[in-house]
Every structure is written in structure tokens, then in C-alpha cells.
Amino acid sequence: MTGKIVFDRSISISGNVDPSTFTGLFNRFMQKLPANNGDAFLKSVNYNQFRDFISLCSNFGTIKDFLSKFSGEAKNDLFVLYTSNLEQEQDDLSSIILIAESVSNINDDQLLTVLQANIKKEYERVKADSNQIGISIYGVLSSVISGNARTENTWYKKISQQFKILPVASLSSSQLFNNGKNCVEQMYFYNDDDGRSSYINFINTYKNQPAWNVEDRNSYVRISSRQGMNVEILANKPEFEENGTNAIDAYFKEKNLSPTVIVHRGHSFHTESTLEKVPSSAKLIFVGSCGGFYKLSIALENAPEAHIISTKQIGTKTVNDVMIYALNENIRTGKDIVWNDFWEKMRDKLGGNQYFGDYIPPNKNLGAIFIRAYYKILGV
């Protein structure tokens, strides 16, 4: 290897993963990578961020192309390394979540057999060491992939019963209302072209709606329900990123309110800023930016019980506004949200939108389900 090919930090999970950016980088990378030299390349960069890279390849549909650069034996060795010593990644759960998602997406029987055999081996290693973090990580991971087991079926069935993964089928209305009185939603906008455009679309969605009142408060807007249950939506204006958010926080403090719904709007590079602000009171989080799925662990550290809607690739206002309005109408009318039913209604409305398929409902959000189970086992 010449050493000229390097992993760009923009593909890191801790960075800003944009689907088009990743695909462009990957294509240029593949053009420079000689045949059957993938393992030599990884060694030349000391396996820097290799797990995140493999996970992204799997989840963006490029893993087959990348693995074409490996011999059969090197490919097997790579996936053993990929799923080994995951307890050392406990401070970066996003990487482990991506591994869970990646393993779930792989349909190569030989690779699955290698992966699943090693995951079992690693579980037994950490169990012998009484490493509770490792037991939790490998136990939940085994439970997640148990339905697709290609080897050790009896063992995987037993583990899945021990580390039960409970999908979030529905969100009750009562969880969204503070003391049964009001539901408070906070929406974050950012001062760029996308944020400004999304904000205009958002306001126009509620204008002239008889069930909703729009009130301008200088640096932010307050939208409240006129009919049905008491719902308040507070959103900073894009040009007042900091001042608007501070004013909303002051309003919450004055009224002793806590938001149970958090919505992120705008480009992916602002996603972390929003998710870092998610309060423990949040029960529903909507991440409308591109690739928001890959940063969910940030929010779930603060609100592990939250139901999350996110995108794996492209997020767009043409989906966001329709879906958010439908959610708020559901909340306003006091109905429990049954995710399968809600998603079917959204499919009827948005199925023709090419980006609707990128959105992941809470009951299918493997990352959120993984973290929720992991924290529950650890008693966090």
C-alpha cells in the first residue's frame, strides 16, 4: 500500500455522517484500493475506525463492494475482529448500535455463521470474566440477532429469552402530558438555508388551522391548541438560535414546564446540538435531519425511555411537516399512538415520496431498542 488512502473523519460516527458524502468518499476510496488488498489497507491504518466504516458500508449498502477486496479467509478474520472486545467500546454505544444494525442487515450465510459464532464466543468470554458491561452488550446484541441465527440456534433462543428485547409498539397519550394537564413540545431550528426554509413550511402548516393558534413572541413562536387536549409547541426562529432557545427555557422555568416532545429540524451537522439538549422528561423525539438515526445514543443517554423517529439517509421537510402535524393532531385529540397503525396512515399520505422509506418508526428503531434494553439490564 502506498499509504495515500486514509479514512476521512467525516465518516466517523462521532462526526457528521451524510449519506451523499459517505457514498462519494467510498466510491473514490474503492477506485484506489487494489483487488484482494483490503486487509493490507486496514493494517496500514492500524484499523483506525474500522468498525464504524464496516457498519456504515453495511447500512448504506456498500459492504458487498468493500468485501470484494478481501480473500475468503481475510474476510472471516475481519468479521471476527469486528465483533470482538466490544466491552471496550462502552463509552461509544453508537458504534455498538451500528454493529447490531449491520449484523441484522447482512444476508450472507457464511458471514453470518462466522459473526454469530464469534458473538457467542465473546459472550462466554465476558461471562467467565464476570464482566457485567460485556455481558450486557453481548447479551442484548445476541437477543437482537437471535431471530436470524444461522448457527447455535438453541443457544441464541435461550439468550433471547434471558435478554428480552421489547419493541415499543405504542406510546400512550398520558406519557406525553405533564400531570395529565398539558403536552409541551420544543422544536429546534437553525440559521441556515435549510433551517429557514423548514421554519417557513412549519409556520404555514399551522396557519389558518381552526384547531391551532399561532403566537409570535419575537425570538420564538408559541403554537397552542384551541380544541381538544392542551398542547403547546415552542419553536425558536432560525435567526435566533441561541436567544430564542434561551427565551423558551425562561418560559419553561416561569411556568414550571418540561417538554415531553423534542423535534430537530435542519441540516445533519446541527443534530448533535439538539440531541445534547434532550431532557430526561422527553418521551417522543423526532429527528428530521439526514442520517439522524446514527446519533441517537446522544439523546438516549438522557432519555432512555423516549420513542424516536429518525432517518437513516435523507430527511426532508416534505415528509417532516406532514408527519409532525399528524403526530400533533394525534396528541391534541388524546389518542394513544400505535406505531404500526400510525405508520400505515403515513404510508398512505407519503408513500409516493421517495424519501419516506428512509424514516424509521420507534418500533423498528433497532438502535433505540438496543440502548433501552442495555440500560435496563444495567439498571441505569
Span 140-170, pLDDT tens digits: 889 888 877 788 889 999 998 888 776 678 9
CA pair distance 17, 53, nearest whole angstrom: 11
CATH number for the domain formed by residue range(s) 170-367 = 3.40.50
Buried b (16+ CB within 10 A) or exposed e, 10-21: ebbbeebbbbeb
**Segments making up each domain of the chain, as ranges:** 170-367
Q: Is the pLDDT of residue 15 over 60?
A: no
Predicted confidence at residue 121, as pLDDT, reads: 96
Give the model's confidence band at 3: pLDDT under 50 very low, under 70 low, under 90 confident, else very high: very low
Q: Identify the residue with better confidence: 376 or 132.
A: 132
Predicted confidence at residue 297, as pLDDT, reads: 66
CA pair distance 14, 17, nearest whole angstrom: 8
Q: Which amino acid is at 282?
A: A
Q: Is the pLDDT of residue 293 over 70?
A: no
| Range among 48-52, 87-91, 117-121, 315-319 rated most confident | 117-121
Predicted confidence at residue 377, as pLDDT, reads: 81
Span 168-208, pLDDT tens digits: 789 999 999 987 789 999 999 998 888 898 899 999 999 98
Span 236-262, pLDDT tens digits: 999 999 999 999 999 999 999 999 999
Nearest in space to 291 (alpha carbons), one of 271, 276, 308, 305:
271
Q: What pTM did the predictor assign?
A: 0.75
Helix/strand/coil percent split, the chain, to 5: 55, 10, 30
Predicted confidence at residue 155, as pLDDT, reads: 93
